[in-house]
Every structure is written in structure tokens, then in C-alpha cells.
Amino acid sequence: MNRALLVGINAYPGNELNGCVNDVSDVANFLVSHCDFQEDDIRLLTDKRATTNAIEAHLNWLLTGVNEGDRVVFHYSGHGARFPVRNEAGKVTRVDECICPVDFDWSEQHAIRDKQFQELFSKVPKGVEFSWISDSCFSGDLAKDMLPPGRKIKSFPMPADIAWRMRTAETRPGAKLHSFEHVIASYNAVLVSGSSKSETSADANIDGRYNGALTYYLLQTLSAPNGLTQTLEQAVARTRSALRRNGYSQHPQLEGSQDLMQRPFLVSLQKKAASSSKAA
């Protein structure tokens, strides 16, 4: 069984992006044309429909009832944030990474954090091939004023009270960073993220059309003649090189299952399915 959930959000009130809906449409077309997914295998959530409740419900759909040998893809293109969390005593004890639904407002009720992903992923059986592509970043206002024209950072700027809470977390020795990489490490899953922790991911105008830079160049790499024979590790390395050649400073990261990193993207099971069909 194949399943894919693709979330793309441009329409953040007051903090709009441009290329995220194009990103998810492009990924959907790639999965159908290159990876033997059917249209019915794929759900898209975009703009005002991509609320916290809707994304959570669709993530439950994505992961409920999957079994060993199934292929599961989650692609997110939109703003990301780091969310400092206080305990019951009012002390900042940890910083969570989160994706930002369209109704994100720096409240815990309207953020989907690494802790929630961990709860979801804990229900996934062993042997499910899970790929998560996150075209977002979590580094706040870094380099905001240094971007070339036509590019935006895919990260929510922090309001003053949250920025103070973050400063408190950074100066508190016991505060821990909970990241998506830590979530993915325990499962048969890989995470391709748009940039390293100290960088930003770009929402860019590429040849007159807006896209997330990670999504655009990753799909270019995977669509090349050898795209689905190279390992995922090689594909991400080539995506980094393509970004650098085209003037982007971000370095996509690959985390998670070493086994999946050393195999082509979604292809091993695809070939197995094709062989079974021929035998039948």
C-alpha cells in the first residue's frame, strides 16, 4: 500500500509565502509519474484548509492501518518554528521544533510539535518505509535582511514575548532542544530537511515560478535519468550541490534510517511490486 500526505501553505495571514502550493502539486505529480502511486493514494492540504485540526486528522489517516512493506510519504512545505515550552512552575524547560498550520499563533493548541509526531510515529509497525520531506526552517529571523530579491525565509518571526522565552531557554542550562531528527531516529524512516539548524530554507522565484528551493532541486535530482537508481544519500548530496551552484546557502540534511539512506528513494519496494505483477 502507498500513502502520501502533502501539506503546502502560502496563505499565512500577514506572513505569506509563494511557492508552497506549487511544491505539493509538484510532489504529487512526481509520485504518480515516477513512483507508482495512484491519485487515490495521495491527499493534499493547502492554504486555509491546512488548519491544525485538519493536518492532525490527515496525519492519523496517513499512519493508521499501515503494515510492513507499505510506503508512506509526508511532505510539508510552509513555515517552521522553534517553540519554547514552560513547565507547570513557569520555567522554560525545553524547546520544541514545530510545523506551522495556517492558524498558527504561537499557542500550543495551534502548533504541531515534535512530541506529537513522536506519538503518531510510535504506532507505525516495523518495516513501513516512511519518508518525510520538510521544506521549512526553524531559525527565526536569521539572515532575513540578507536574502536576494524574490526569496523569503520559511520560518515564522518570533513575537517579542516568545523571543524572550527563547532567550530564557538558551541561557538556562537544563533546557533541552527536541528536534524532528530525534523523533525520526527511532523509526524505519528518513527525514530530508531544507537546511541545517543555523540556516534558513528559501521560498524562491525560479525561472518565473515560485517553489521551495529544497523541493524544486530535490525533484530535479530525483527526476534525472539516474535519479531513482542513486541512493537517497547521493540524491541529497546532489541536491545540495545544485542549490550551491544556483546561489543558495542552505544545506539540506538527511537523518534517520541508515538502511533507507543507502537505498533509492521509494524504489526498492516499487521494484518488488513490479516483479510480483510480472510473475502473476
Q: Which residues are catalytic?
A: 79, 137
Q: Which residues contact 193 (CB under 8 A, 6 or more apart)?
A: 134, 136, 180, 181, 214, 252, 253, 255
Question: Is residue 26 helix, strand or coil?
Answer: helix
Asked whether the beta carbons of 221 and 153 are under 8 A apart, the reply is no
Question: b/e string for 84-114 if b means 16 or more Cβ within 10 A?
Answer: bbeeeeeebebbbbbbbbbbbebeeebbbbb
What is the residue type of 41? D
Question: Is residue 146 helix, strand or coil?
Answer: helix
Question: Is residue 2 helix, strand or coil?
Answer: strand
